[in-house]
């Protein structure tokens, strides 16, 4: 049966100001000023600023899954740009500002994903995205060192690629593999990092949101938000924005 709206609860992440890390037991109360974002200081508005926050949407139903949940932004901030991305529940998935959680561009339609390490490496890998029928999919396998691993499925979109653990010496590159298995670089997961995800322009239409696999009871989705205020922007009100998780 469908879940109720009250079954999806948003939680803060563990790092200061909810700037990354694992899920906490601290729910975010909707409609409360500064419940996610701090005020934009006058000096920040004049100079321009980027801010990052990570929260979790958790399915607290005891029996029912959220079917094909969608993350989107029905209300956008005033005089600022908002992008969203899908993270993971991991202490190393922290502030997205230059820490290895690199942006990668929109995926070329219907291509497989290729991944390879720069050395001996057997870590588990996961890809999250949409298959060639635009159905949400998550695929897990293992790296085979410097040999190029190729996904079993074709992807119309990739939301993130992640590793089960970090390495102190190995980095991993990933890309699309069009005809002939040629490797077209798209992004990387650096030494000591575990994820690379796509920033997606936020929109107010649910159909343009990030479509994800079913969310089972007790499971959560990690959602990154990036707020950009251009230098000299008029008065900015990030407290007006809303990030929503709903069944498709």
User: For the segment 169-191, what is each residue's pLDDT rounded down to a tens digit?
Assistant: 999 998 888 765 678 888 889 89
Residue 93, pLDDT above cutoff 70: yes
Which candidate, 201, 214, 167, 220, places its Cα nearest to that of 56? 220
pTM of the model: 0.92
Average pLDDT, the chain: 88
Share of the chain above pLDDT 90, in %: 54
The C-alpha atoms of residue 47 and residue 156 are separated, in whole angstroms, by 38
Residue 100, pLDDT above cutoff 70: no
Phi, psi of 130 (to 5 degrees): -120, 135
Which candidate, 135, 127, 234, places its Cα nearest to that of 176? 127
Q: What's the token pair of residue 219?
A: 């499971």
- 36-40, 43-47, 193-197: the lowest-pLDDT one: 36-40
Average pLDDT for 119-134: 95
Ordered structural domains, the chain, with CATH: 5-33+45-91+199-247 (2.60.40), 112-197 (no CATH)
What confidence score (pLDDT) does residue 32 get? 82
What confidence score (pLDDT) does residue 4 get? 83
Burial class (CB within 10 angstroms; exposed 0-12, middle 13-18, buried 19+) of 57:
buried
* 231: Cα within 13 Å, side-chain hemisphere: 1
Residue 65, pLDDT above cutoff 70: yes
The C-alpha atoms of residue 133 and residue 36 are separated, in whole angstroms, by 35
> CB–CB of 28/213 below 8 Å?
no
């Amino acid at each position: 049966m469908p879940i109720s709206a009250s079954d999806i609860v948003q939680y803060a992440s563990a790092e200061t100001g909810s700037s990354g890390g694992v899920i906490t037991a601290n729910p975010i109360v909707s409609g409360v000023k500064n419940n996610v974002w701090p005020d934009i200081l006058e000096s920040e508005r004049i100079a321009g600023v980027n801010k990052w926050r990570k929260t979790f949407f958790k399915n607290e139903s005891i029996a029912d899954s959220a079917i094909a949940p969608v993350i989107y932004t029905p209300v956008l901030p005033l005089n600022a740009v908002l992008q969203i991305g899908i993270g993971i529940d991991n202490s190393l998935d922290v502030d997205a500002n230059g820490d290895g959680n690199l942006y990668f561009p929109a995926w070329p339609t219907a291509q497989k994903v290729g991944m390879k390490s720069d050395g001996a490496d057997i870590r588990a890998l996961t890809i999250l995205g949409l298959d060639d029928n635009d159905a949400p999919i998550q695929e897990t396998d293992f790296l085979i060192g410097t040999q190029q691993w190729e996904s079993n499925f074709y992807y119309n979109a990739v939301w993130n690629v992640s590793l089960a653990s970090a390495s102190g010496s190995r980095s991993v590159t990933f890309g699309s593999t069009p005809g002939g298995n040629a490797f077209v670089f798209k992004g990387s997961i650096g030494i000591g990092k575990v994820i690379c995800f796509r920033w997606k322009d936020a929109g107010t239409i649910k159909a343009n949101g990030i479509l994800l696999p079913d969310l089972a009871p007790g499971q959560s989705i990690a959602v990154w938000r990036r707020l950009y205020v251009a230098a000299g922007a008029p008065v900015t009100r990030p407290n007006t924005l809303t990030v929503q998780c709903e069944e498709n």
